[in-house]
Amino acid sequence: MPKKTEVLVLVADAARGELLRRGRGARPFETVATFSNPDARLPNRKLGEARPGRTHESVGPRRSAIEPRSTPRSHALVAFANALAAALDGSVKEEPGTRLVLAAPPRLLRMIEARLPKKSAAAITRTVPKDLTRLPRLALQERLAEIIATPA
């Protein structure tokens, strides 16, 4: 009888993430790692954002604020996506043949997928563009089992 492959599931949102493992057989998911991004819930001014720069109009005395290209919160989200992608990559390298399932809001999901190396990205079997982090533990277990059982 061939061995069933291991399934790793990343359930994340902008503020936290959890890497779950379902081993061979129908055992419940167990937590492999947890991640947190405390900066995701702070306002930009608390993260060190300065007042926007000012510019003069070409005619007249009016001045307008210059909109920043990115915010400290978006920088924190990029760093968090990098950390999640690195953890997934490390897990796939540790255990070849592992299947990955990613469940995160669409924006974070795209960021994680873009940061994964090709070999690790090839291990992704399902993506769920939803925030499942707020589900109770039992409901999360049932939902993930449902997601894994249905073909892509």
**Structural domain count of the chain:** 1
pLDDT digit string, tens, across residues 74-110: 888 899 999 999 999 999 999 888 899 999 999 999 9
pLDDT digit string, tens, across residues 3-56: 556 889 999 998 999 999 986 666 788 999 999 988 776 665 655 666 666 666
Task: Read off the DSSP letter of residue 34.
Answer: E
pTM above 0.85, yes or no: no
Whether residue 99 contacts residue 5, with contact meaning beta carbons closer than 8 Å, is answered with yes
The Cα–Cα gap between 1 and 24 comes to 12
- Expressed as residue numbers, the domain containing 136 is 7-42+70-149
The Cα–Cα gap between 131 and 108 comes to 10
In a domain, 50, yes or no: no
Whether residue 35 contacts residue 16, with contact meaning beta carbons closer than 8 Å, is answered with yes
In a domain, 21, yes or no: yes
In a domain, 64, yes or no: no
Look up the CATH number of the domain holding residue 112.
3.30.420.60
In a domain, 56, yes or no: no
Q: Is residue 146 over pLDDT 80?
A: yes
Whether residue 24 contacts residue 33, with contact meaning beta carbons closer than 8 Å, is answered with no
In a domain, 131, yes or no: yes
Q: Which of 4, 3, 8 is nearest to 144 (CA)?
A: 8
In a domain, 113, yes or no: yes
In a domain, 2, yes or no: no
Which residues fall within 8 angstroms of residue 109, CB to CB, at 6 or more apart? Answer: 102, 127, 129
What is the pLDDT, as a whole number, of residue 111? 95
